Amino acid sequence: MSAVPVPPPPAPRKRRMVRPLAIFAVLGPGVIAASAGNDAGGITTFSSAGSEFVYSMLFVMVLVGIALVIVQEMCARLGAYTGEGLISLVREQFSLRMGAFAVTALLVANLGLVVSEFAGIGAAMEIFGVSRYISVPLAAAVIFSVVVLGSYKKAERVFLLLSLVFLAYPVSMVLADPDWGQVASNALWPHFEHSEAFLFLAVAIIGTTITPYMQLYQAAAVADRGIGPDDYPAERVETIAGSIFASLIAMSILIATAATIGGSGPLSSASDAAKALEPVAGGGAEALFAVGLLGASLLAAAVVPLSTAYGVAEAVGAERSVSRRFREAPLFLGLFTAQVVIGAAIALIPGNLIDLLITMQILNGVITPVILTFILILANRRSVLGDAVNRPRFKVVATICVVVVSILAAIVLVLTILGWLGLN
Is residue 298 a contact partner of residue 306, using CB atoms and an 8 Å limit? no
Distance CA 83, CA 221 (A): 10
pLDDT per residue over 241-260, tens digit each? 888 988 898 898 899 888 88
pLDDT band, residue 282 (cuts 50/70/90): low
pLDDT band, residue 1 (cuts 50/70/90): very low
Q: Which residues contact 243 (CB under 8 A, 6 or more apart)?
A: 30, 34, 65, 68, 69, 72, 73
- The rounded mean pLDDT for the chain is 78
Candidate from 11-20, 123-132, 197-206 with smallest mean pLDDT: 11-20
Give 181 or 11, the one with higher predicted confidence: 181
DSSP 187: H
pLDDT at site 167: 76
CATH superfamily of 25-421: Amino acid/polyamine transporter I (1.20.1740.10)
Distance CA 380, CA 377 (A): 5
Q: Which residues of 363-400 are buried (b: 16+ CB within 10 A; e: fewer)?
A: bbbbbbbbbbbbbbebbbeeebbeebbbeeeeeeebee
Is residue 229 a contact partner of residue 66, using CB atoms and an 8 Å limit? no
Environment class of 12 (CB within 10 Å of its CB; exposed 0-12, middle 13-18, buried 19+): exposed
pLDDT band, residue 29 (cuts 50/70/90): low
Is residue 287 a contact partner of residue 281, using CB atoms and an 8 Å limit? yes
pLDDT per residue over 185-235, tens digit each? 999 988 888 788 888 888 888 877 887 778 888 888 888 788 889 988 888
Environment class of 19 (CB within 10 Å of its CB; exposed 0-12, middle 13-18, buried 19+): exposed
Q: Residue 26 above 80 pLDDT?
A: no
- Return the half-sphere exposure (C-beta side, CA atoms, 13 A cut-off) of residue 423: 7
